[in-house]
Structure 1
Amino acid sequence: MASFTHHPVPPRLLPLLAQFDFATRRLLDRLAAGLRDSGNGSPVPETALTDAEYLWEPVPGCWSVRPRAAGPGPRATVLTGAGDFGRDATPAPHPVPPPFTTLAWRLSHLTELLTLRADHTAGSRSLTRDDVVVPGDAAGAVAAFTAAAAAWRAALVAADDAALDTVGHSAYPYGSDPQDPFLRTVWWVNQEVLHHGAEIALLRDLYRHRYRGPVESSSPS
């Protein structure tokens, strides 16, 4: 287990840390039952993510999270991750146009990148995609994302001011991290959580209003 030296959070990191906290909190609020902030302070009721919604494929040919025994989905060649489920993927070059990805795929992707970046910044620096368990259910996926976000945040607050300028402070092997100053990696992770979080929120809205057959007219005959 990594040991962290306690020190004040560098001033340059504070706004990015606040942005990360905001993005993760907004996403988790969109996935849990209860009242969430609409964005202007007014409460909006939310329902908990269900397994059916987690695995919903809104269009044909989606990439998703699948039982390993079922094999990869359309245009995928492997199921990444550990456990009984895996996430559709293929080595480069990737399909063009890219497949539409489900809520499960996007949430698993976020969990993986946070888990691995935390490990390759303040952990063993040895984990690979094959070590990250891919949950096949909604509750497990939300719990995994929560843990991954906490691990990455711990790695962030452990970084001192010099680390922010250190190239390769994050040795995450599936991106440009080894060639980038750590501050750039922090910014990049934030935009990943923000844009995938927004996609996940939109998928929740689409699922809630999905087509269920002809709408019956309420007009008198």
Structure 2
Amino acid sequence: MTPPRLAPLLEQFSFACERLSGRLAGPVMDSGDGAETRTGPLTDEEYLWEPVPDCWSVRRRSEGPGPRAASLAGAGDWGRDAAPYPHPWPPPFTTVAWRLSHLSELLFVAADHTIGTRTLTRDDYAISGNAAEALAAFDTAAAAWRAALEAADEAALDTKGHCAYPHGSYDEEPFIEVVWWVNQEVLHHGAEIALLRDLYRARRG
């Protein structure tokens, strides 16, 4: 049984993920007011679209990192622009590809550090070089994190280190606060991605 404190956060997470997946995959998009707008699935061109100069994105590893990036994070033939702390300032503008990759990696690796092997890092996470693979990866990552939430009991919610995600202070926070923060990641990155879809569509008139 889902602990009462966790239930609304789990519901919020599921809703946010379903809404983001719907805005990315089409064929219709719910704007939030019950009105549906027809939209096609995210294309490779849109996935990698750089609306301003010097964006951070995902790139073929053979091409090396983009402007102001020091490395390409992740595993596979593609990587995500990255730099060690302190990060570049002002922050680089990031593409749909960068934001979706970051979000999927967070969910998948955090799930592993909650109910999995507790060994994965962001450099173990395979970066998707095209839109279709990225959408499937997000759905897989969201399902993994949802499983971690569904496995939590009341004691786990107050346990520091129940999620030991290695990038950040997750292992120093009670799990209920980690759950809240991850929801905010989905909500705000989901909103950013949705806005980029709107801008991409508007540029074509």
Q: Same fold (TM over 0.5)?
A: yes
Q: Deviations over 1:13-59 (max 9, x none)?
A: 00000100111011001001222323122222121000000000000
Q: Unaligned regions of 5+ residues in structure 1, if any?
A: 1-7, 213-221
1:202 aligned to 2:182? Answer: no
Counterpart code for 1:61: D
Q: More displaced, 114-123 or 39-48?
A: 39-48
Q: Deviations over 1:78-119 (max 9, x none)?
A: 000001000000111110101000010000000010011000
1:28 aligned to 2:14? Answer: no
Secondary structure (helix, strand or coil) at the match of 2:38 reads: strand
d(CA) in 1 for partners of 2:132, 2:204: 25
1:65 aligned to 2:58? Answer: yes
1:178 aligned to 2:171? Answer: yes
Shift of 1:211: 6.2
The match for 1:9 is: 2
Q: TM-score, normalised by structure 1?
A: 0.91
d(CA) in 1 for partners of 2:204, 2:94: 19
d(CA) in 2 for partners of 1:95, 1:211: 31
1:47 aligned to 2:40? Answer: yes
1:156 aligned to 2:149? Answer: yes
Q: Unaligned regions of 5+ residues in structure 2, if any?
A: none
Structure number with larger C-alpha Rg: 1
Secondary structure (helix, strand or coil) at the match of 1:11 reads: coil
d(CA) in 2 for partners of 1:94, 1:38: 34
d(CA) in 2 for partners of 1:119, 1:69: 29
d(CA) in 1 for partners of 2:193, 2:168: 22
**Percent identity of paired positions between Structure 1 and Structure 2:** 68
The match for 2:184 is: 191
CA RMSD of aligned residues (A): 1.0
Task: Judge conservation of contact 2:107–2:145 (CA < 8 Å) in 1.
Answer: yes
Aligned length: 205
Counterpart code for 1:56: W
1:94 aligned to 2:90? Answer: no
Higher helix share: 2
Task: Judge conservation of contact 2:23–2:30 (CA < 8 Å) in 1.
Answer: no
d(CA) in 1 for partners of 2:29, 2:100: 19
Secondary structure (helix, strand or coil) at the match of 2:203 reads: coil
Select which of 103, 107, 110 maps to 1:110. Answer: 103
Q: Deviations over 1:157-194 (max 9, x none)?
A: 00001000001100001011111000000000000000
